[in-house]
Amino acid sequence: MARSIAVAWVLCVGCAKPTQALPDASVGADASADAAVEPAGRSISEWTACDGVTDDSIGAAAAFQAASGGAFTLLVDCPLKLHIGSDIARPIYVDNGTTVTFWGPGKIFVDNLYVPAFVLANTSDVTFTNWNVEWDGSMPISPAIGNYYKDGVMVALPGGNASGIFNDTMLTPWLAAHRGIVFDQSMGGVKSQWPGPVNISALFVLSGDTSNVNVTGMHLYAPATAGGSEFIPFCFSFVMNFKSNQTVTATTPTTAQYRERPHGLLFSNIDLDGTYMAFQGSVRDATFEHIHSGRYGDVQDASGGNSGGVNKFFPPPHLFYLNYSPTGDPALFNTNITIHDVVDDGTRVGTARDKGGTDTVSGYALSLKLGCHQCSVDGYKTARPDGFMDVLSSDGLTVSNVVASYDSVFLNGVFPGWRFSASAVRQPNVQQRRAHRHRARARVGPDRRRRQRHLYEPRVRPCRGRARGLANAEHARPECAEPRCQQRDRLRGGVGPVSTDRRDVEVGVVHARGVAQRNGRRRADHADLDLARRDDLHGLGCVERRARDERNHSGHASHRRAEHRAQLQQRDRHGDRDGARRRRSVTWVSACRPAPTVRVASRPPRVRPRRLRPVQSNTRTAGRGESSSTARRRRRR
């Protein structure tokens, strides 16, 4: 169904160099349909009822434990119902060397809430193949559900939920018993690192030094009839935590010596449909390839209201949200992440959480939010009306072969489609950008005077640790970027942005009319540029320069415009064909470096008055006082 789009743009990076087509049919395909022979292993039906109705969470946990250590491949070849809910004793811990494969009618129904369904804590060598998981729950719009369960017994917890209780009373003792972590309370309370109520409620929580995890052919989805309030809240959560076999206290620093985040991960052929947050957290050495996302939304009630939950408690959801602490230990930064061949259909269910105006600003559910070092995004398609990408603190990030669109009307004109929200962005590599816009009327960002075209018309290059031409966190124009509106301001008497950093300069040729096309005013143009160079040396800012120029030029600006209109009318009356088409070329300097020598490309048009034709006589002979030669010339004309 077509959407009403006020601003729609398509960003194509690197499209001039064809690569492998994004295989829509193969992305996220259920590989179990292609299996002709049942793989070797033991069926989970040995531990469970396997009827899709009875709660099999306890039996499934026992089956996973039996399959650990490479004992055998666990086959899920029947429907399982894991009624976990908010029971802190029901999550399934996946231990080292576990391989689980789905085959035939194998399927899991799950409904975990504020506790994970599957936990991988300091776990290594895990393989999940062809999983088929259907979400059968709903997240309330308020996190204060007021109770939790333990082994099926409800425990009252006014104003709270099960997330913190699970972390402190279940996960922390499990790490002590199975991973050799001693939690020394002598210097204060210390527990397993709690990522928050939302992250710990993911279907899969990968925590700490979890490594060598291969997930292929997985299908996670909400039923086709599910509304926006019945989507999967969280799919994969990557949590930094303590390493195994050590003693930790309340003063243990957050450094790579004591903590680790998941690494050595492969997610391939993942099909998601009906989700809020998909992949979130901190990782290294991870590959995400052949990812497909269908329907998505935000926490909401059954009628589609309260988007984001009460007080917008739920973080703005994304397909990818990979972040880290840029002020922490560099050894714990996100590094070596590859995101390849992603198709985000952008089927939005619900409304944007931020309405604009006096409403509070929380964020928006764009497809990719990424901060990392030495990472790449290649072959990415998204049609999310929320937008394409939010670039966090990064170094050596390459983005290529991207096709993206977004709808500013859906976002109520609050956010851009591609944002550089951090100043510490070094060496971004965005290649061969091609944008197509349909309309450019909506305005974006807190500064409502900015036109949407500033997101994609200016060039994109590194400049003082940022990228040119795209909105930053403050929705202000980056230094050294030269949007067309600033070019117009320069030609109307103002000057461009000024930077004391002289490493970057952008010189362009602007074909202009108006003030810059004044006949015979080359000296005034040179004076303006000399003034700009002098202000640059003195460090005068853009705002101060513009205020000064308005004071100096306001007195005779109207006179110059009237004079220019008179010159154009005079050329039209006298048939100055060359002058009517001529344009003066004016060199415009960004003042990031000393201005180069200015040359005027062409002289002002020369006005040549047309010679008046004498009044012709009615006779063929020379008139009175007219020579015979003049009469002959008149007759020839």
Phi (first) and psi of residue 332, to 5 degrees: -110, 10
Choice among 97-106, 167-176, 546-555 with the minimum mean pLDDT: 546-555
The two structure tokens encoding residue 375? 């990472």
Residue 12 has pLDDT above 90, yes or no: no
Q: Which two tokens stand for residue 483?
A: 């949007």
- On the question of pLDDT at 581 being above 70, the answer is no
pLDDT for residue 408: 87
pLDDT > 70? residue 341: yes
**For range 476-496, the mean pLDDT:** 39
User: Tell me, what amino acid is at 310?
Assistant: V
For the chain, the average pLDDT equals 75
**Cα–Cα distance for residue pair 515/526, rounded to 1 Å:** 13
Q: What is the C-alpha R_g of the chain?
A: 33
Average pLDDT of the residues in 1-21: 40
Tell me: pLDDT of 359 over 60.
yes
Worst-scoring range by mean pLDDT, 277-281, 350-354, 444-448? 444-448
Q: Is the pLDDT of residue 104 over 60?
A: yes
Closest CA to 264 of 372, 195, 338: 338
pLDDT at position 92 is 98
pLDDT band at 316 (very low <50, low <70, confident <90, very high): very high
pTM: 0.68
SS3 content of the chain, % helix, strand, coil (to 5): 20, 30, 50
Better pLDDT: 632 or 159: 159
Give percent above pLDDT 90 in the chain.
Answer: 56
Could you give the CA distance from residue 324 to residue 497 in angstroms, rounded to a whole number?
Answer: 32
Q: What is the largest CA-CA distance in the chain?
A: 128
- Cβ-based burial of 352 (10 A; exposed 0-12, middle 13-18, buried ≥19): buried
pLDDT value of residue 575: 53
Q: Residue range 573-600: average pLDDT?
A: 41
Backbone phi and psi for residue 153, each to the nearest 5 degrees, phi listed first: -105, 125
Who wins on pLDDT, 115 or 535? Answer: 115
φ, ψ for residue 87, nearest 5 deg = -85, 115
pLDDT at site 36: 64
Structure tokens that stand for 470 in this block? 């795209």
* Predicted pLDDT of residue 563: 66
pLDDT in the model for residue 545: 55
Mean pLDDT computed over 360-379: 93
CA distance 217 to 402: 24
| Nearest in space to 513 (alpha carbons), one of 588, 568, 551, 552 | 568
Average pLDDT over residues 600-610: 51
| Among 322-336, 353-367, 445-459, the least confident range | 445-459
pLDDT of residue 186: 94
Residue 267 CA to residue 319 CA, distance in Å, equals 13
Q: Is the pLDDT of residue 427 over 90?
A: no
Q: Locate 221 and state its tokens.
A: 């989805």
pLDDT tens track for 520-573: 444 444 444 444 444 444 444 554 555 555 555 554 555 566 666 666 666 655
Q: H helices within 458-596, ranges in order? A: 484-491, 522-538, 542-553, 557-574, 577-581
Q: How many of the other CB atoms lie within 10 Å of CB of 53? A: 10
Q: Which of 35-39, 128-132, 494-498, 575-579 has the lowest mean pLDDT?
A: 494-498
Q: What's the confidence (pLDDT) of residue 421?
A: 72
Write down the pLDDT at residue 577: 47
Residue 234 backbone dihedrals phi, psi, to 5 degrees: -155, 130
Question: What is the spatial distance between Cα 431 and Cα 460, in angstroms, rounded to a whole number?
Answer: 9
pLDDT of residue 406: 85
The single-letter DSSP state of residue 171 is: I
